[in-house]
Structure 1
Amino acid sequence: METLSPDGSTPALDGLGSLAARMGIEIVEATPERVVGTMPVDGNLQPYGLLHGGASCVLAETLGSIGAAMHAARTHGGYAVGVDINATHHRSARSGVVTGVATPLHLGGSIASYEVVITDSAGDRLCTARLTCAVRRP
């Protein structure tokens, strides 16, 4: 099981990407079985002052993709690419930090699917997303 090193790096997290950095996403925990990350609400708002639904999707895809990439690397030295994401937005946030937790629904040889639950600082569920990634061999 691959986890974050003390400096926060891991091969699946190398090159996390400029979008995730621009959104302020920080990875707290990462294994193929559980990926946790946070994102500030500030800077990720839509015109009505609410957390942008697209920002929630970016967080969900980032977390699920990290888990899928770690799974692909662990199983056959491969990589993963997203093929489908869907999200249900239950409520929104105006401030603070949101936390996403990605857990696998299926970890196979060609497909990895994750459920990502995003909550606010009070623990209220804001969004439930599902990400499916194709697992590719090198």
Structure 2
Amino acid sequence: MGDQSQAQTTPRTGTKFPPGIISRFAGAGVDLEAMFAAGHLGNRMGVELVEAAPERVVGTLPVEGNTQPYGLLHGGASAVLAEHLGSIGATLHAGPTKMAVGVELNCTHHRGMRSGTVTGTATPVHRGRSTATYEIVITDDRDRRVCTSRLTCLLRDAAPDGTGESS
């Protein structure tokens, strides 16, 4: 979607985003920076968003720092990347009056990784009024499949403060 060397690093979160993506999200009524706020799990694990639209969300995750005791990419790290990307797609599909909440995630791990970066690509399987399901394919630097995931999100009405909590 864009040259990573031109990525915009935001002062609020320190997260790198492709050029122009923050304004596109804001135009859709979504606070992208809030999704990557300090303390957010994906942010702490080094997830970087490469491309984002309701039809396709792409992001990367470094293997280093996200391994299990045997030195392999932790399956939970793949799950975090999958849920993060699928949730962003569902949020963009839902629009500003709704919020996406993951209700089911499954992951099949195909190969181990000891170094490098993995790339996840989320594409919709179903986008409805109350649920959205995304398939997330995670590959290594040589485009070999590392993990296949499926995430289903419930699309809830967002409260006026954007929390999803109703009074």
Give the C-alpha shift of residue 117 in structure 1. 0.2
Residues 19 and 122 (structure 1), Cα distance of their counterparts in 2 relative to 1, 3 Å cut = same
Q: When the two structures are aligned, how many residues end up with a matched partner?
A: 133
Residues 39 and 5 (structure 1), Cα distance of their counterparts in 2 relative to 1, 3 Å cut = closer
Report the 3-state secondary structure (helix = DSSP H, G, I; strand = E; otherwise coil) of the residue aligned with 1:49: coil
Partner of 2:58: 36
Structure 1 runs not aligned, ≥5 long: none
Give the C-alpha shift of residue 6 in structure 1. 2.4
Structure 2 runs not aligned, ≥5 long: 1-16, 159-167
TM-score where L is the length of structure 1:
0.91
The structure whose Rg is larger is 2
% identity of equivalent residues: 60
Query: Is 2:139–2:145's contact at 8 Å kept on the other side of the alignment?
Result: yes
Give the C-alpha shift of residue 137 in structure 1. 2.1
Report the 3-state secondary structure (helix = DSSP H, G, I; strand = E; otherwise coil) of the residue aligned with 1:24: coil
Structure 2 letter corresponding to 1:112? A
Structure 2 letter corresponding to 1:6? P
Partner of 1:58: 80
TM-score where L is the length of structure 2:
0.75
Give the C-alpha shift of residue 5 in structure 1. 6.9
User: What is the Cα-based RMSD across aligned positions, in Å?
Assistant: 1.5
Partner of 1:93: 113
Within a 5 Å distance, the mapping from 1:3-22 to structure 2 comes to 6=19, 8-9=21-22, 10=25, 11=30, 13-17=32-36, 18-22=40-44
- Residues 53-99 of structure 1 show CA distances to partners (whole Å, capped at 9, x for unaligned) of 0000000000000000111116xx21111000000000111000000
Partner of 2:128: 108
